Amino acid sequence: MKKTCPICKQESYPELIKKKDVLNIRGENIEIEVEVYRCEKCGEEILSSDSKNDPFEQAYRIYRTNHCFLQPEEIKSVRKKYSLTQNELSKILGWGLATLSRYENGALQDEAHDKVLRLIADDPQNLLKLILQSPYALDEERRRRIIEELKNQERRLFSFDKLYEDLFTIFPANENSGFAKLDINKVFNAILFFCLDGDFKTKVNKLLFYSDFRHFRDYTISISGLSYAHGFYGPVPDKYDFIYAALIEKGALTSREYTCDCSPNIVGENLISTKSPDLSIFLETELMELAFIKKFFRKYTSNKIQKYSHQERGYQETSDGELISYSYAQYLRL
């Protein structure tokens, strides 16, 4: 499209290019990628005003990752996890409504506020303590219901967070986790969702992989924060056997051995949910992704989805046991 250069005032067909730039965020230099128009007449570069990639949004996201801050969608997820409105959570925290709204919409939070949000995200009992300390933040009926729900959450899903911490070391969010902190409640509930009608473990592993990688491709963050490794039968969650064992031990899943659909000589493990998944913990985009993947692969056998996953670039360019970077999400076949 022909444009008038604001520098030389001449009309030309400027070239849209991508280049590296550096923004200083709170004293830290963050390298980002920006889109600029280069005038074919004078060679000057002008920042593209119609670019979908906001430079500051990119820089803030990288800064949050570097400092283990919650991302905007994670802050929103914390609030939705407890079925609170922005106004309600703001009053409980003693913040202004505008502050929480800005954080959910991309403003960079300060360290003190992030620590409070993370305490709430990691343990419902921390939110319960804040509510009990703020008797006038909510009306009486609403306060009673939320306190009851928080007490139920302490018992629900068998304290999955603590269970996982006992089994695994939790690493910071990076490209191997889809730049999301591991959320074991989402991992467990995604598995329960995929196993409502029963399915083979081999297939469930692929459903998790495609859900996380496709969500990362479209929204630059994974759903669960799981890392995935190159396995013999395709991509698999890292240390997945411990995850399923924990669910089975706590009675959320049952496991039955069946002759595998890929060969009569191979015995597969069929998993069936005995507890209903808590879907309220997922964001709308995450629920849509889980539902899409389940529907897309509904008629796939374990053997068919295994062969399908073997064609993924991230699988082909890694070796046995090697983690598959989420950077390969851009090459997904679906």
| pLDDT given for residue 181 in this prediction | 84
Residue with tokens 């083979």: 200
State the sign of the Cα–Cα–Cα–Cα dihedral 170, 313, 282, 118.
positive
Task: Report pTM.
Answer: 0.57
Instruction: Compute φ and ψ for 259, nearest 5 degrees.
Output: -65, 125
| pLDDT given for residue 204 in this prediction | 97
What residues are paired with 259 via a beta bridge? Answer: 267
Which range among 36-50, 78-92, 94-108, 218-232 shows the weakest confidence by mean pLDDT? 36-50
Higher pLDDT, residue 206 or 126: 206
| pLDDT given for residue 87 in this prediction | 94
| pLDDT given for residue 193 in this prediction | 97
Q: Which amino acid is at 182?
A: L
> Residues 83-116: pLDDT tens digits?
899 999 999 999 999 999 999 999 999 999 999 9
3-state secondary structure of 222: coil
| pLDDT given for residue 157 in this prediction | 46
**Annotated domain spans of the chain:** 3-53, 72-157, 168-331
Q: Please state, for a pLDDT cut of 90, what percent of the chain lies above it.
A: 54
**Separation of alpha carbons 66 and 248, rounded Å:** 35
Instruction: Assess whether pLDDT exceeds 90 at residue 249.
Output: no
| pLDDT given for residue 259 in this prediction | 60
What's the mean pLDDT when you consider all of the chain? 87
**Separation of alpha carbons 9 and 3, rounded Å:** 9
**Separation of alpha carbons 228 and 211, rounded Å:** 12
> Residues 153-203: pLDDT tens digits?
665 544 555 555 555 555 567 899 999 988 888 999 999 999 999 999 999
Q: Which fold has domain 72-157?
A: 434 Repressor (Amino-terminal Domain) (1.10.260)
- Beta strand pairing status for 45-47 and 11-12? unpaired
Q: What is the mean pLDDT of residues 267-273?
A: 83
Reported for 64-71, long-range contacts at CB under 8 A and 24+ positions apart, including other chains, are: 64/108, 65/173, 65/174, 65/179, 66/28, 67/111, 68/172, 68/173, 68/181, 69/108, 69/109, 69/111, 69/114, 70/109, 70/114, 70/117, 70/118, 70/121, 70/181, 71/179, 71/180, 71/221
